Structure 1
Amino acid sequence: MGEVTTSVWATGQRPSRVQRRGRYVPESMRHPAKMLPSIAARVIGTYTRPGELVVDPMCGIGTTLVEAVHLGRHAAGVEFEERWARLAVANLGHARKQGASGFGQVVAGDSRHIARLLPDLVGRAALVLTSPPYGAATHGHIRSSRDTGAPGVRKWNHHYSHDRANLAHQQLPQLLDGFGRILAGCVDLLRPGGVVAVTVRPYRVRGELIDLPGHVHHLAEEAGLVFADRIVCLLCGLGDGHLLNRASFFQLHEARKGWARGLPIHALAHEDLLVFRRPQLPVGSRKLRDLRAERELE
């Protein structure tokens, strides 16, 4: 294995809504947990070349796919929720109208069976880029009393779905099991030496910090992937000698409540990008067959 590296990428120079404006259909803002386009574009530009295939097994509104086709790559995505899959298709169509040279496809289905959903792509992907869900509800969009003058906080666009089969609804053990199956299936889609990149951050449940990056690292290695890089993708902006805060209302609210209780909780200013490679092993090697067999028996 080569040396593992750590880098910092300034991916938060522009707010997410500005990064999407005009590049995605307006309805895209309804999704509660979109990947930052600048992160997707930087990953794709770093780890692939034009004409290569990029896959996102949990593609949401299609951020990975859109950035891939704009960079001359081809893309395929799977999305559990049909309404988000339709938005991903709409965003790909919008990208084509804007002159994107790559081609993309979206399949609505359960990516725990991704190799069955995309059988023609087995062994062809140069990059798998995705992010796990963080629960059934997210911060979404809010209006606080500071904005409206009325008491309380109003939230909208903060649910992935109401389908209990969605991984976002599962408790942590079931979420990890499902995401592990997705990673194992993605190994089949990768060409030898192909890359899996996962954007992920810790989160809190009833005040307890969940080390989701650590869990993802473990799941990827269980799937037979080799850890290669850790990138710190900044969500804040870099100003002239200071940071430009991009933290959400609820991140700041939880941090303030923590400090009031004597807990030094800080709002996150970055996402981890964990990068793994598929070993240079033949598709039919014993090691990979054993890994697939273990997953099928679970």
Structure 2
Amino acid sequence: MTGSIPSVWATGQKPSRSQRLGRYLPESMRHPGKMLPAIAASVIATYTRPGELVIDPMCGIGTTLVEAVHQGRDAAGVEYEDSWARLAVANLAHAARQGATGTGRVVAADARQIPRVLPDLAGQAALVLTSPPYGSQTHGHVRSTRDSGQPGICKWNHRYSRDRTNLAHQSLPTLLEGFIRILAGCAQLLRPGGVVAITVRPFRQRGELIDLPGEVIAAGEEAGLVFTDRIVCLLCGVGENRLLNRSSFFQLHEARKAWERGTPVHATAHEDLLIFRTPPAGATAGQALSAAGERR
């Protein structure tokens, strides 16, 4: 938590499935938008100490919570979908059986109301760590003709939800409006000078690159947070003199099609980790930004 924080983190040395093997229940792989465990673990180790509280307002299957309790932190999560909330609870129980010393809890609720959902935690959290949804569907799991021997591409485990009120189903402006409410609510749960860390990457919509990290920075500032840092979390592995590709089937497929059209598109090889802080008690936003710079 002191000294210089590296601007690039090698969080993709193992594939996502390998990072979860044995540490999470096998059914966790069904979730289409899981946070990479190495990113969550690195954020928690960097910005918190044992015994402190970590919150994830959109916790999914509980990656943030599991990595927190394994490091001796306490954790609380909110998840809109009952099925994912139940799986997050099961993953926390699995972590406890493996010797995790932190405590965790999950509430199935709408995170836009998080101050009312977790009223007993107001002003207590050291860290909020989360990631926004990327739409109602993601790449999920894929089996191509080469793998299956059948014509066409088979997709599964690619939906967050079929509930039309879920933020993942909303347009980008509505999603961001909801995310602003979530961040503003989380700020009430943070102690003075607490950290909000958001993992996010750009995505393509009908061929157009959407700068979701830039939109999230604006959303955080509108929620009253102070943007202090931007860290590159690698999704690729770093080998000797080369990068180890971890791109999904659809990322590579879309990149190849774009190149065939003469557009030099590359598959995403990192996530942005956006760091915000709440101003210390009695400090202005400018003073909070200055203090964050001094800590680095």
Q: Deviations over 1:174-199 (max 9, x none)?
A: 00000010000011000000000000
Could you tell me how far apart the structure 1 residues matched to 2:123 and 2:259 are? 50
Q: Deviations over 1:65-98 (max 9, x none)?
A: 0000000000000000000000000000000000
Q: Deviations over 1:178-227 (max 9, x none)?
A: 00100000110000000000000000110111110001001111111111
- Give the structure 2 partner of residue 234 of structure 1: 234
- Give the structure 2 partner of residue 136 of structure 1: 136
Q: What amino acid does structure 2 have at the position aligned with 1:280?
A: P
What's the secondary structure of 2:58's corresponding residue? coil
Q: Deviations over 1:16-71 (max 9, x none)?
A: 00000000011101101100000000000000000000000000000000000000
What's the secondary structure of 1:24's corresponding residue? coil
Shift of 1:5: 7.2
Q: Establish whether residue 149 from structure 1 lines up as the match of residue 152 from structure 2.
A: no
Give 5+ residue unaligned stretches, structure 1: 288-298
Could you tell me how far apart the structure 2 residues matched to 1:186 and 1:122 are? 9
Contact 1:5 / 1:228 at 8 angstroms: preserved in 2?
Answer: no
Could you tell me how far apart the structure 1 residues matched to 2:164 and 2:222 are? 27
Could you tell me how far apart the structure 2 residues matched to 1:5 and 1:87 are? 33
- Give the structure 2 partner of residue 247 of structure 1: 247
Could you tell me how far apart the structure 2 residues matched to 1:65 and 1:286 are? 31
- Give the structure 1 partner of residue 67 of structure 2: 67
Contact 1:128 / 1:197 at 8 angstroms: preserved in 2?
Answer: yes
Worse-superposed segment, 77-86 or 139-148: 139-148
- Give the structure 1 partner of residue 77 of structure 2: 77
TM-score, normalised by the number of residues in structure 1: 0.93
Shift of 1:286: 11
Shift of 1:281: 2.6
What's the secondary structure of 1:268's corresponding residue? coil
- Give the structure 1 partner of residue 117 of structure 2: 117
Could you tell me how far apart the structure 2 residues matched to 1:251 and 1:198 are? 22
Contact 1:6 / 1:229 at 8 angstroms: preserved in 2?
Answer: no
Q: Deviations over 1:80-139 (max 9, x none)?
A: 000000000000000000000000000000000101000000100000000000000000
- Give the structure 1 partner of residue 202 of structure 2: 202
Could you tell me how far apart the structure 2 residues matched to 1:175 and 1:78 are? 17
Could you tell me how far apart the structure 2 residues matched to 1:112 and 1:83 are? 19
Could you tell me how far apart the structure 2 residues matched to 1:286 and 1:86 are? 40
Q: Establish whether residue 179 from structure 1 lines up as the match of residue 179 from structure 2.
A: yes
- RMSD of equivalent CA atoms: 1.6
TM-score, normalised by the number of residues in structure 2: 0.93
Q: How many residues align?
A: 283
Could you tell me how far apart the structure 1 residues matched to 2:262 and 2:284 are? 53
Percent of aligned pairs with the same amino acid: 74
Worse-superposed segment, 50-59 or 146-155: 146-155
Could you tell me how far apart the structure 2 residues matched to 1:53 and 1:201 are? 26
Q: Establish whether residue 86 from structure 1 lines up as the match of residue 86 from structure 2.
A: yes
What's the secondary structure of 1:126's corresponding residue? strand
Could you tell me how far apart the structure 2 residues matched to 1:6 and 1:19 are? 22
Give 5+ residue unaligned stretches, structure 2: 286-296
